[in-house]
Structure 1
Amino acid sequence: MAEYITDKHVVSVLRPFVRATAPMLAALRDSNPFFLVRKVLPSAEADRSDADREDTEHLAKVDKSIRERLRSGLEHVRVPGTRAWDGMTVAEREDWWLNRVGRFTVLIAAIPGVGGALADRLPIQTTLASAGQGLVLSAIGMENGLDAAERVRLIAHVLFDRDIPLELARGAGLADADEDAATADLTQELDASSAKHGRVTVKAAARTLWRFGRTLYALGEELDKRPQGRFYHQLIGMLPIVGALGDYLGERSALKRAVRKGRKWLSRRPSIGSGGTR
């Protein structure tokens, strides 16, 4: 019989995970081609950095009418940093995260499926898919104004069917130093990539997703409770070569189910004064 996993242990794993998702989500949000928004739509002069001013001087050499058309066009693109993004509803931003981040994480999780049933005997796909679901849920939680503790509760409910007490989710009884060290370990690939390349590379993001999955794997059989794909996706996933397609479709379906479950939890979440924190 497997050892029982306590709520406290779940929280000790999820708190550094949730904290580490912030820089990961920022990297996925700001990666190409979204850097164009920052280049073409600089902030107010008083807030510009030296790099911003250099970008502005460079853009000044481009025909003004072309820049104005580009500026106007980018303002209507639904990405962070534009007026279109500011005008989006929370539900629309949630869908953006589902598609933007979800496609990346699901694709990485499905790659082991190339090996067919043999790869399914390994925990790689399960751990990566769980990390991907947790990452998207954290993004949705942030869009809904949830702090780290509430995002821990959201992920614990959706992935592990656990209703974690708020005080425990806030880290009561856990060592801050251990949590800080675990968070730093999860984000070291992101930090190293930013220091070397000035940005987070796809390779660094993929390795970070693996670190996320590896830390969740410490919860053992709890990962089996996460939303899964349909049975026919699993059948296709057992076939060599085309198994990757079945795994991709299955994990994509599972991710959508996780988001639906998360939205349902959010709709029932108590407001201030009823035990929750907005």
Structure 2
Amino acid sequence: MGETISDRQVVAVLRPFVRACGPMLDALRESDPFGLQARAAEDLAEVESGLKAKLIHGVTSVKVPGTAAWARMTGYDRSSWWMNRVGRFTALLTSIPGLGGALADRLPVQDALGAASQGLLLCAIAGEYGVTDVGTRVRLIAWVLFERAIDPDLAAGKHAEHDEAAEADEAAKLTEELRESEKKHGKATVKAAGRTLWRLGRGLLGITGELEKRPRGNLFHRALGMLPVVGAAGDYLGERSGLRVVWKRAHGWLTEHAPPATAPR
């Protein structure tokens, strides 16, 4: 039996993780990453009616971050979008180790990637509830994934051992792939996002014992995941099932802790 992991150890790992999740998620949420609004505004200035205007309206009605349709969605619906649309992508990445069947399942890779995916999405939906500070997001992840009630001051880094500079440096290392992609391509590519997820997962290995507690699939999903090749399908279904539990727990926790003016109804 391994040593007990303290709340302070959990916080030390989660704070740089949360800080690393911020840049990628905030760029998607607060900017116009697909350029849809900007192009629509330019084209609508040229035409007042007709087929072209209808087509542009159709484009801007697509519900993705940065569009007018996204701005009109409720916070609850935007949070559901993160869990369902983006969750499919992260669940797929997490299930790749399942190609190795039982061997992969005996390694911490699956849990590390799965916890990173779930933590990333928790940070995303926290923003839709108006929760932007690192400490509260740390408490959210710890409670939803590990069923830990972390002291608010500890989660906020208000203790003698907290090293702000080291934490910022660790967060920067976790997002190195994203920065390089933005410099080279002007945006974060899917490849860079995938590699960053792997980095985020590795960053959680310091609390491997806790990662096993995260929500995941049932016995059927786990049994299927033990088989070579088809294990990836079992792991994918298990991750999707786990995300539904994560979303339910997160909604309850955030409804109680989010700022009243921004909590989704």
**TM-score, with normalisation over the residues of structure 1?**
0.84
Instruction: Work out whether 1:116 is the aligned partner of 2:98.
Output: no
For the residue of structure 2 that corresponds to 1:262, the secondary structure is: helix
* In 1: Cα distance, 2:195 partner to 2:145 partner: 22
1:139-160 Cα shifts (integer Å, max 9, x gaps): 1111101122111110010111
* In 1: Cα distance, 2:36 partner to 2:226 partner: 43
CA RMSD of aligned residues (A): 2.5
* In 1: Cα distance, 2:106 partner to 2:254 partner: 34
How many residue pairs were aligned? 257
1:83-106 Cα shifts (integer Å, max 9, x gaps): 321221111011110022211110
Residues 176/254 of structure 1: CA separation in 2 closer, same or farther (3 Å cut): same
1:176-197 Cα shifts (integer Å, max 9, x gaps): 1011101101110100111111
- After alignment, is 231-240 or 74-83 more displaced? 74-83
* In 2: Cα distance, 1:214 partner to 1:80 partner: 28
* In 1: Cα distance, 2:63 partner to 2:138 partner: 28
Contact conserved, 2:30 with 2:66, CA < 8 A, in 1?
no
Amino acid across the alignment from 2:107: L
Match of 2:121 in 1: 136
Q: 1:224 aligns with which of 204, 212, 219?
A: 212
Q: Percent same amino acid at aligned positions?
A: 52
Contact conserved, 1:17 with 1:212, CA < 8 A, in 2?
yes
For the residue of structure 2 that corresponds to 1:41, the secondary structure is: helix
* In 2: Cα distance, 1:248 partner to 1:85 partner: 27
Match of 1:168 in 2: 154
- After alignment, is 146-155 or 74-83 more displaced? 74-83
Match of 2:34 in 1: 35
Amino acid across the alignment from 2:233: L
**TM-score, with normalisation over the residues of structure 2?**
0.88
Match of 1:104 in 2: 89
Consecutive unaligned residues in structure 1, runs of 5 or more: 43-55, 273-278
1:71 Cα deviation from its structure 2 partner: 2.3
Residues 36/65 of structure 1: CA separation in 2 closer, same or farther (3 Å cut): farther
* In 2: Cα distance, 1:28 partner to 1:116 partner: 34
